Amino acid sequence: MRRLALAAIAWALSAIVPAAQSQLPTFSSRVEAVRVDVLVTDGGKPVGGLRAADFEVFDNGVRQTVDFVSAEQLPLNVVFTFDLSGSIVGERLANLREASHAVLDGLKADDQAALVTFNSAVLVGPGLTRDVRLVKAAIDRAEPMGNTSLVDASFAGLMLAEADVGRGLVIVFSDGVDTASWLGSKAVLDVAKRSDAVVYAVSAGLNRRAEFLGDLTEQTGGRLFTIESTRDLSGVFLEVLDEFRQRYLLSYSPAGVSPGGWHPLTVRVKGRNATVRARPGYLAGGPM
């Protein structure tokens, strides 16, 4: 019965965002290009003005030729993935709505946004749209109740983030404790290892480590914020948006490496002691 339920929920989430599956990388035996989203900082401040020749990328320890690097403000696909379980009430809910509105007001004309909410179930809607009024209205209508399907919702968020052309940013807000998901965390982390989307997560008032959120953000090259109070949630969300816009998007065609399995990645900036944040690798071979 559990195997049937797992298959059913995976099918249901995929059906909600059918276009996403065709966009997620499958890394067949012939990998034509790998994208790596990279943040470069020096003294905690983002470094701008870098070009392809400034980067070194190693795939499985083999130096690769970076043939594309962009610091342009490419269109974003911002997917809010919000915990609306029974614990998100009162001030937390009000601050979450305010913070999401602040991000939506900061989007550009070509950017898109979408909403995934989760409690005992996962609800997607609206999908990616340039009409931020639809997303605002959906957030304002949503009411908290029930348990927390964090892992299931993260899967849906990753799928949506790559459902259209652009750079996928998934912003997850939760107390970090999953109590109702059907999908296993390992399976969703494997999806993250094949995805180009970057996950930033905010865990509010969690007394124990948000292990899944930490792993999810690490595997996608994002960041986990652990906060005691949601009073400055707008500031945190806007920091995420600003930081994401200042990341570089590197691309290379893998050479001299095996086509399948786990590919550890190392990204460096030549000639300077900069801090680089990127996904630690990607999973190649086999279907999503």
Here the CATH number for the domain that contains residue 227 is: 3.40.50.410
| Residue 198 CB contacts under 8 Å (≥ 6 apart), including other chains | 37, 167, 168, 169, 170, 220, 221, 222, 244, 247, 279
| Residue 235 CB contacts under 8 Å (≥ 6 apart), including other chains | none
Closest CA to 195 of 112, 111, 79: 79
239 lies in some domain: yes
| Residue 244 CB contacts under 8 Å (≥ 6 apart), including other chains | 76, 167, 169, 198, 200
Token pair for 178: 């999953």
Owner of token pair 């003294």: 43
β-partners of residue 174 are 203
- The count of C-alpha atoms lying within 13 angstroms of the C-alpha of 74, restricted to the half-sphere facing its C-beta, is 16
66 and 119, same domain (yes or no): no
- pLDDT of amino acid 53: 94
168 and 38, same domain (yes or no): no
Token pair for 250: 């590197």
Per run of 10 residues, the mean pLDDT along the chain (length 288 residues) is 40 45 38 88 93 96 93 88 94 97 97 97 96 98 94 98 92 89 96 96 76 95 94 97 96 94 96 94 76
- pLDDT of amino acid 50: 94
Give residue 50's identity as a one-letter amino acid code: L
190 and 274, same domain (yes or no): no
- pLDDT of amino acid 30: 43
- pLDDT of amino acid 20: 39
48 lies in some domain: yes
Token pair for 237: 């969300």
- pLDDT of amino acid 136: 98
Please give the tally of structural domains in the chain: 2
d(CA 253, CA 149): 37
> What is the SS3 assignment for 35?
strand
180 and 54, same domain (yes or no): no
